[in-house]
Amino acid sequence: MSMYAGRRGETLPWWLVLVEGVIAAVLGFVLLIAPGAALFFMVQVLGLYLFVAGIFRIMGIFIDASWWVLKLLAGVLSIIAGLLVLEHPLWSTVMVPSVLVFVVGFLSIFQGAAGLVVAFQGGGWGMGILAVLGILFGLILVIYPLIGVATLPFVLGIFMLVGGIGAVVQAFRMR
């Protein structure tokens, strides 16, 4: 079964996987050669997405009124976040990656701590070493977030380029 299989065992058309792969590879390449401009563009797309998603969340209350207060709150916050990103593009281009770096840093610290507990409960040396590396990685990101922000476009670019090429190869295999 293909990695692009749907819920009912269906697969996406090969040409759609090809288009997805080409777009991802091109965006990855652009992130590698022009990281600032590409990151600026991607953050603006995020702002537009947040704005539109907030509107749809609020409209969804009329279809399903369960938990309407939470849906309304989520929709309003999403609209506000989208407007803030769109109104302050330069500020957002710095803040969005910074927040992401902090989140990844703290998650890495917590996951490393949990890994240490598992290592001491019989998980072995390998688990302990990985846990310590995770904690150190998280601390570096939290203490020096600019390192993470500066490398984020390059890391995203590499993942998108490799993933895009992989999707193109998969599309031709599907065909």
Question: pLDDT tens across 97-154, in order?
Answer: 888 888 988 999 999 999 999 889 987 888 889 899 989 989 998 998 888 888 888 8
CB–CB of 115/131 below 8 Å?
yes
Q: CB burial class (10 A; 0-12, 13-18, 19+) of residue 69?
A: exposed
**Does residue 9 register a pLDDT over 50?**
no
The SS3 call for residue 11 is: strand
DSSP 8-state symbol, 122: I
